[in-house]
């Protein structure tokens, strides 16, 4: 498997992990700040363990090597996390999904404006189709959102786009320590608003799974895979999160999706699958050589 295909696989798996956020949010009945505190703490400790096992004696050197780029990525990731969870409290899930589906376009625009990056027309076309698919999913629910929540969701999308551009631009920088820092910054920032000690044992178990499997594992896979593919392509694959989130709720809570949700989800997943397949064909196509005579 090529480096690029490994990156696509890792980012797809990270999207599967991130898409379970709605499941855990439904499962855990706590205020948003306490949830963010424990989710970030468990995720940060999990990623730290991965770094210590992977780097052993070089762990501290690798942590120090993140530099300004790693710090910037960590700050953007932390901001996106806080904005993301709070957006759901102030607007509809539909609005958040539609705004987040604009991530490939926001990433491409920022990359073009500040880094001079150009994207293939196939990536932009697939991004547009994915955006239309999410629009079909949410139907007329878009107009039901509130302004504050929409602004928070758009801020989250911008932060995520900047983070992806930084990860791709500085692919030589060890970003796992940055992901760890991002997770640990979250509980540090929300501590004044949270009540971390007033939770039941059952909630601790669910929060541990929320932090390690959804947030921690998702961050690890996204951070490693994001250094292997273009930032806009990374963002495109992340649009899979919307239909996958519906599937989680459908399978676990028995909430069958509507016909528009099913149709839109199929459009999104097809757009991503066709783009990945087309890109793989181009990379595997043998070069044409010409000989005289």
Q: pLDDT tens across 104-160, in order?
A: 888 888 888 788 877 777 777 887 887 787 777 666 555 555 678 878 888 998 999
Cβ–Cβ < 8 Å for 68, 158: no
Q: How many CB atoms lie within 10 A of CB 130?
A: 30
Tokens of 201: 């044992």
Cα–Cα dist 265/134, whole Å: 7
Q: Which residue, chain included where needed, has tokens 């953007």?
A: 76
**Which pLDDT score, from 0 to 100, does residue 142 have?**
56
Over residues 241-256, the pLDDT tens digits come to 878 877 787 787 776 6
**Which pLDDT score, from 0 to 100, does residue 37 have?**
95
How far CA 141 is from CA of 21, 47, 74, 268, in Å, comes to: 20, 37, 33, 18
Q: In the chain, which ranges are continuous DSSP H helix? A: 3-18, 21-27, 32-55, 59-64, 67-90, 93-100, 103-115, 121-138, 147-169, 176-190, 201-209, 217-226, 231-238, 241-253, 259-284
Burial class of residue 288 in the structure, from the number of CB atoms within 10 Å of its CB (0-12 exposed, 13-18 middle, 19+ buried): exposed
**Which pLDDT score, from 0 to 100, does residue 257 have?**
65
**Residues lower than pLDDT 50 in the chain:** 287-293
**Which pLDDT score, from 0 to 100, does residue 102 have?**
78
Cβ–Cβ < 8 Å for 93, 22: yes
pTM: 0.78
**Which pLDDT score, from 0 to 100, does residue 38 have?**
95
**Which pLDDT score, from 0 to 100, does residue 289 have?**
44
Q: How many CB atoms lie within 10 A of CB 40?
A: 25
Q: Which residue, chain included where needed, has tokens 């989130």?
A: 245
**Phi, psi for 227 (deg, rounded to 5):** -85, 0
Cα–Cα dist 78/62, whole Å: 20
Name the region of 67 (left: φ>0; alpha: ψ -120 to 50; beta: rest): left
**Which pLDDT score, from 0 to 100, does residue 189 have?**
94
CB contact set of 47 (below 8 Å; sequence gap of 6+): 176, 179, 180, 183, 216, 219, 220
Tokens of 51: 């770094």
**Which pLDDT score, from 0 to 100, does residue 293 have?**
44
């Amino acid at each position: 498997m090529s480096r690029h295909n490994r990156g696509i696989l890792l980012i797809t798996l990270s999207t599967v992990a991130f898409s379970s956020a709605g499941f855990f949010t439904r499962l855990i009945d706590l205020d948003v700040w306490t949830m963010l505190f424990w989710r970030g703490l468990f995720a940060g400790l999990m990623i730290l363990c991965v770094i210590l096992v992977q780097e052993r004696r070089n762990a501290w050197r690798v942590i120090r090597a993140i530099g300004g780029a790693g710090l910037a990525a960590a700050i953007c990731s932390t901001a996106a996390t806080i904005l993301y969870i709070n957006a759901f409290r102030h607007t509809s899930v539909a609005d958040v999904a539609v705004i987040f589906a604009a991530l490939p376009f926001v990433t491409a625009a920022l990359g073009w404006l500040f880094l001079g990056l150009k994207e293939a027309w196939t990536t932009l076309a697939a991004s547009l189709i994915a955006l239309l698919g999410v629009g079909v999913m949410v139907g007329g629910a878009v107009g039901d959102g509130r302004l504050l929540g929409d602004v928070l969701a758009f801020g989250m999308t911008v932060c995520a786009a900047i983070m992806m551009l930084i990860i791709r631009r500085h692919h030589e920088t060890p970003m796992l320590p940055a992901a760890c820092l991002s997770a640990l910054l979250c509980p540090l920032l929300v501590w004044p608003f949270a009540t971390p000690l007033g939770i039941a044992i059952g909630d601790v178990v669910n929060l541990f799974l929320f932090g390690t499997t959804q947030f921690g594992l998702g961050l690890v896979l996204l951070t490693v895979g994001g250094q292997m593919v273009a930032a806009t392509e990374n963002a495109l694959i992340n649009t899979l999160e919307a239909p996958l989130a519906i599937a989680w709720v459908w399978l676990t809570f028995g909430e069958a999706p509507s016909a528009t949700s099913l149709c839109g989800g199929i459009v999104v997943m097809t757009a991503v699958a066709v783009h990945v397949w087309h890109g793989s064909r181009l990379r595997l196509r043998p070069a044409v050589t010409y000989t005289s005579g």
